[in-house]
Amino acid sequence: MYDYVKSIHIIFVVSWMAGLFYIVRLFIYHTEAQDKPEQERKILSAQFEVMERKLMHIITTPAMLLTVIAGLLMLYLNPYLLQQPWMEVKLCFVVALIAYHFICQTKMQQMRKGIYMWTSTQLRIWNEVATVFLFAIVFLAVLKNAVNWMYGVIGLVVFSMIIMSAVKIYKYYRVKK
């Protein structure tokens, strides 16, 4: 039974992450559409609002809920996991990812009201936060090691710096065109 639940958990993690990655891309395009002429801006904004709402409510949020349910069921079926330090750390990252999800929902609601608090560059950086969480969660789940904190923290910081640099380089070439 455990392996079936684990398989479902992995499938919905993939769906959830795909939704989180794509929703922020939509936010980027939605924000950039605000620089278009009024008629084009209205059409694009209306379309992005539909796409964002459907993605969040039909795919991303249900995938998050099913991920959490399957994860909790796995912990119920194998309570020994809760005694493992790596699992405690992983669960902290999962809670952070859930918070990220709800911040994305708040951003979506703000944009629907015409409030664009973040630039497209800030949203590109925000999009990479989910990538950092994903790396941390997967490495913890696969390697099952939370003991080497120093290496893990240094690795995440270096990885984050690489991602930030890539975003900046992309912006440089995008603006240059």
Span of 23-27, 87-91, 167-171, 173-177 with lowest mean pLDDT: 173-177
pTM: 0.83
The structure tokens listed for 18 are 């795909």
- Exposed / middle / buried, residue 171 (Cβ in 10 Å: 0-12, 13-18, 19+): middle
Write down the pLDDT at residue 58. 96
Q: From CA 81, how far away is CA 117, in angstroms rounded?
A: 40
Write down the pLDDT at residue 159. 77
The structure tokens listed for 54 are 């459907």
CA geometry: angle 88, 57, 31, nearest 5 deg: 95
The structure tokens listed for 151 are 């290496």
Q: Contact at 8 Å (CB) between 127 and 65?
A: no
Q: From CA 162, how far away is CA 115, in angstroms rounded?
A: 30
Q: From CA 9, how far away is CA 6, in angstroms rounded?
A: 5
Tens of pLDDT, residue by residue over 52-77, are 999 999 999 999 999 999 999 999 99
Q: From CA 21, how far away is CA 4, in angstroms rounded?
A: 26
